[in-house]
Structure 1
């Protein structure tokens, strides 16, 4: 955990709560930042508070004029977790009822067609060299192909070190991903060759501990950099974007990978019940339910295989509500 200086009457509880979350495998970094702001809020407005009262909870959780519904729900959930922790250790705290604030409409992943993927990757191949980011034209074709071809989270690809990419064995080593999980991801021969060519051009004098996809000032590529390039490639490929919160999004390459795998297995007559655990492990899912979500999504996106999926696996196909999109 970063050296946050928590203030206010609940500082010690906040710090211990975060330590506990991280000890059981959660990164809890974004949540810690929210709790840092909450501690400053209570230090300023309720410095003498002896309990986490209903008044404090509702004032903190009230929706800001500039705030999206999803962010309010996230802040409320984080404070609810803190309150539950305090109650469990015998401290008086008001626990906000679960689901008290209405959740924003869940985003249903955008599944790219084969043609859209081809057009998108063609645009990454045409990325030009710019002085401000000298390796951009080399990074983008590999980065986006890797996310799709390996079903990676964007952060998993962005934070790869050179030593994590074994091009001879065709293996990516993913460390400390979601819920602190680590895993090995096999990559195709074609992607290995692309990575090797890329590495020869970019990493001739790099150390093994350097970032595989370097940004500026010896840091990895930023999320903003990735997103801006993504939107530019999307536009040039003629793929419509629905605006803020509508998608397509970068993480939809990962969702597309999962759906395309399932579609391929169904067409080939594979035993999906046997293959789902493989997909779960490959994608780094924490629970089987997260992986089974893609069965419903695949059935809805590809109606031609819907009947076969429903007929063979009616008990493991969840209702499609977008609920697992943010956790996958």
Structure 2
């Protein structure tokens, strides 16, 4: 593995730290991904000392656009400990008040124009890896089925039934399998992707793969999403939430709610099915996704009260 490239005044220290972690068996890409964020931030702000202002300043900045999971805090905390032992006894170690947890982030609300431009760009985005032919299929599953990123990453060829037109999700957050029917159009795109991948990687273990035929890393999803977003010429807001692949899941939830409201369908009746389809353990989790819809806010309080005791049906896992 090539050593990661860092450019800040901490470059040599970061490379030595990554090498130390690799020798102890810790070779995950996420650590490098977030420490590069820190490296870029430190360069931009001319940071030369790992003091409290530097560490907490970067963490505070990262929190303005991070995902719901904050496990990345452990990387800067561990780097501080390593620095204190090996380089600088006064190096700051991120305090326990910054303990990682799960915080619901504000989604970026994609418009139909954003989505159309994004999927047009997936067909022409420069990529010399399997992303060249699997980008459309990967992100289409998030958009059309509301899947979590890790559920798409974990999908295997055996999980896709082209005859019965469904996929089986075996890695649900709730721990339950769920069988999801898909449209012919979506299945056709998955079939095209599968044929191309199978010709290149006949023994692949995952439906979506990297250039080595292995499963995709979590960080590679964000990298490719951003590349496609920029290739499409889509704007990035100067402030507020930034677009992420996970926002497709948000869009799936509130787009269904808005469609039912426009059609006059009883949303109270449909919410349990939406919850089951998305793999939620309860209605509250689904309401979190849909309450961000601009047209849904006025009805949210009343709907939440009516559905508080709704029994959620088990998804069909046959």
> Judging changes above 3 Å, is the alpha-carbon distance between structure 1 residues 313 and 193 closer, same or farther for their aligned structure 2 residues?
same
Match of 1:170 in 2: 165
Unaligned residue ranges in structure 2 (runs of 5+):
1-51, 64-69, 75-96, 309-318
Structure 1 residue 312 displacement after superposition:
6.1
Equivalence map 1:8-87=2 (5 Å): 65-66=55-56, 68=59, 71=70
The answer to whether the 8 A contact 2:174-2:280 is kept is: no
Match of 1:145 in 2: 140
Query: Distance between the aligned counterparts of 1:74 and 1:275, measured in 2?
Result: 39
Residue 267 (structure 2) pairs with residue 276 (structure 1): no
Query: Distance between the aligned counterparts of 1:314 and 1:198, measured in 2?
Result: 40
Structure 1 residue 127 displacement after superposition:
2.3
Structure 1 residue 197 displacement after superposition:
1.7
* CA displacement, residues 204-259 of structure 1 (integer Å, 9 cap, x when unaligned): 47557621111143321122222111111112223233479831111000000111
Secondary structure, counterpart of 2:305 in structure 1: coil
Equivalence map 1:122-141=2 (5 Å): 122-130=120-128, 133=129, 135-141=130-136
* CA displacement, residues 154-212 of structure 1 (integer Å, 9 cap, x when unaligned): 11111111001112211111112214232111211100011112222221475576211
Query: Distance between the aligned counterparts of 2:197 and 2:100, measured in 1?
Result: 48
Query: Distance between the aligned counterparts of 1:142 and 1:73, measured in 2?
Result: 28
Structure 1 residue 106 displacement after superposition:
5.2
1:257 pairs with 252, 256, 275, which one? 252
Query: Distance between the aligned counterparts of 1:139 and 1:72, measured in 2?
Result: 28
2:190 pairs with 189, 195, 199, which one? 195
The answer to whether the 8 A contact 2:170-2:177 is kept is: yes
The answer to whether the 8 A contact 1:146-1:152 is kept is: yes
Structure 1 residue 114 displacement after superposition:
0.8
Secondary structure, counterpart of 2:291 in structure 1: helix
Secondary structure, counterpart of 2:249 in structure 1: helix
Match of 1:17 in 2: none
Alignment root-mean-square deviation, CA? 3.6
TM-score, length basis structure 2: 0.62
Query: Distance between the aligned counterparts of 1:63 and 1:170, measured in 2?
Result: 54
Count of aligned pairs: 229
The answer to whether the 8 A contact 2:198-2:204 is kept is: no
The answer to whether the 8 A contact 1:292-1:316 is kept is: no
Match of 1:315 in 2: 305
> Judging changes above 3 Å, is the alpha-carbon distance between structure 1 residues 237 and 161 closer, same or farther for their aligned structure 2 residues?
same
Query: Distance between the aligned counterparts of 2:304 and 2:159, measured in 1?
Result: 39
Secondary structure, counterpart of 1:109 in structure 2: coil
Secondary structure, counterpart of 2:167 in structure 1: strand
> Judging changes above 3 Å, is the alpha-carbon distance between structure 1 residues 180 and 102 closer, same or farther for their aligned structure 2 residues?
closer
Secondary structure, counterpart of 2:108 in structure 1: coil
Equivalence map 1:103-122=2 (5 Å): 107-122=105-120
Query: Distance between the aligned counterparts of 1:317 and 1:74, measured in 2?
Result: 36
Query: Distance between the aligned counterparts of 1:268 and 1:290, measured in 2?
Result: 24
1:223 pairs with 214, 218, 227, which one? 218
Query: Distance between the aligned counterparts of 1:104 and 1:158, measured in 2?
Result: 21
Secondary structure, counterpart of 1:203 in structure 2: helix
